[in-house]
Chains A and B, each alone.
Chain A
């Protein structure tokens, strides 16, 4: 028994860049992949982990000192480094239990479909990491691994119901029949619902804006490198650096932002044979039934309202981070808040004025949640060795998805009475949202169109 324990400890101590790829190699071979292919997947995953670690070190070396200097000069202390979802995902994949959630996602969906409790078949196997992150967060806060798994299961169920309730709306917005989005980010609509109900009563918010032209004008800001450059430059000025140092910081920040998705892509490449096989398995099992295919959110990315909202909320996000008491996060790699933009799009049916209003109101929630997440994500990074966080430093994800759900459940399982009430209220409100969206008019029929301006004016 003792020797067995030692072997396992030895394997875990190899570090995530060795251990997790080893796991993928073994799973691949069990799934009868050719050795050559499985080995390539495993190596790609090692490269992804190592590359991400390099990039994060590069980023903290560039941004860390500047934010310290800003704290000295202005008194605004934002020490938690924002890695965005790509960073959060890579750290989560390094958790030893992360791969168990593939099975949980498949199994829960299977049962829900068999019992006719959902019409959605989720084939988005990439966002399995989101369930693992929830489980780790709840486990860390409550001390119970089982509580973590239970919350992850609840999350899978809620995601399927989100898929059910938004399907008609997504079909209307994208023109693609039979698909829906099963991403947790859309759960932001739950707390936004009461505010959106209030906005129903104000005539201004019942008009629809033409956003296509606006997107063409400000679209360049959604380029990762441009966004990184601007934030880096602003940070340099905040730290009272010289123009030359500020420009150098801006370029480094742009580099980090541009490279994040490139490295993240390697994770996807490594995991895709596995994810694809599981998706195919589920599709084959239910091919004779009418189901909505649950996908990741980018099927909605053609809606210009998403980008206009996401970009316009950025200065609000950064502004709040500077003035909110108790916040420790300067939004950087996670500065594009998709939860607000995509959840807002589906809830309001693409009404830009409402999306922006909701965005401003709910931005503080994300900053405080990211502050809450910082010690948890830092701890996971330390434990797995996925990322070398400098001593005393901390990392987080500024636009964490579904923070209200994750934190309420974590606190509830910890025994915090406010958490328990919060979790119950949240589920009741989720049910309310479900009822509302099932009967709501589809986006194209919901508002009065504003008369379109003639071309060229």
Chain B
């Protein structure tokens, strides 16, 4: 099973909000993917075991480089909070879980 991580500043509130929302959507749509909220400060420990990365604040350049090196697709998480553009980014993420 693939592992999707959502990272925010503390790995508590915002990332968990988005992670839980994704979990519910995945469950409703029968998407098989593990979702976890993580601490952005530990992102380099998380990326090696991740398959999809959803960020809240724009990640540092070296984080993006690392994700690219590991061929981990990266998505913006803000649409899941604002509701604007949520569906299109969700569909992209679902595609990435296949």
Contacts and interface: CB of A to CB of B under 8 A. Distances in A.
B2 interface: no
Interface in B47-82: 56-60, 62, 78, 81-82
Nearest to B81: A295
A127 B11 CA distance: 15
A298 B9 CA distance: 5
Nearest to A296: B14
A179 B82 contact: yes
Contacts, number: 99
B12 interface: yes
A232 to B, nearest CB: 18
Contacts of B24: 273, 276
A296 B13 contact: yes
B30 interface: no
Given A174-B57, A302-B58, A273 B20 contact: yes
Given A179-B78, A293-B82, A299-B78, A126 B56 contact: no
A435 interface: no
Interface stretch (A152-160, A161-169, A261-269, A438-446): A261-269
Given A176-B78, A261-B39, A301 B17 contact: no
B4 interface: no
A304 B70 CA distance: 24
Sort chain B's interface into a size bin.
Answer: 20 to 34
A265 B57 contact: no
A199 B60 CA distance: 30
Interface residues of A, number: 41
B1 interface: no
A297 B8 CA distance: 10
A119 to B, nearest CB: 14
Contacts of B83: 280, 283, 287, 293
Given A269-B16, A301-B40, A123 B59 contact: no
Interface in A159-198: 174-176, 178-179
B37 interface: yes
Contacts of B59: 302
A159 B34 CA distance: 35
A297 B13 CA distance: 10
A300 to B, nearest CB: 6
A114 B81 CA distance: 22
A123 B12 CA distance: 16
B58 A223 contact: no
Contacts of A248: none
B37 to A, nearest CB: 6
Given A268-B16, A298-B8, A223 B41 contact: yes
A304 B41 CA distance: 12
A325 B42 CA distance: 37
Interface string A299-321: 11111100000000000000000
Contacts of B10: 261, 264, 298
A298 B56 contact: yes
A303 B39 CA distance: 15
Given A175-B58, A261-B12, A276 B17 contact: yes
Contacts of A262: 11
A57 interface: no
Contacts of A222: 41
A302 B57 contact: yes
Contacts of A212: 60
A77 interface: no
Nearest to B13: A126
B75 to A, nearest CB: 14
B93 to A, nearest CB: 17
Interface of B: 8-17, 20-21, 24, 37, 39-42, 56-60, 62, 78, 81-84
Lowest 8 A-B CB distances belong to which pairs?
A: A302-B57, A301-B9, A268-B16, A272-B20, A298-B9, A298-B8, A293-B82, A301-B57
Given A272-B21, A302-B58, 9 more contacts: A215-B60, A261-B10, A265-B16, A272-B16, A276-B21, A293-B82, A293-B84, A298-B13, A298-B40
8 contacts: A264-B10, A265-B12, A268-B17, A283-B82, A287-B83, A295-B78, A298-B40, A301-B9
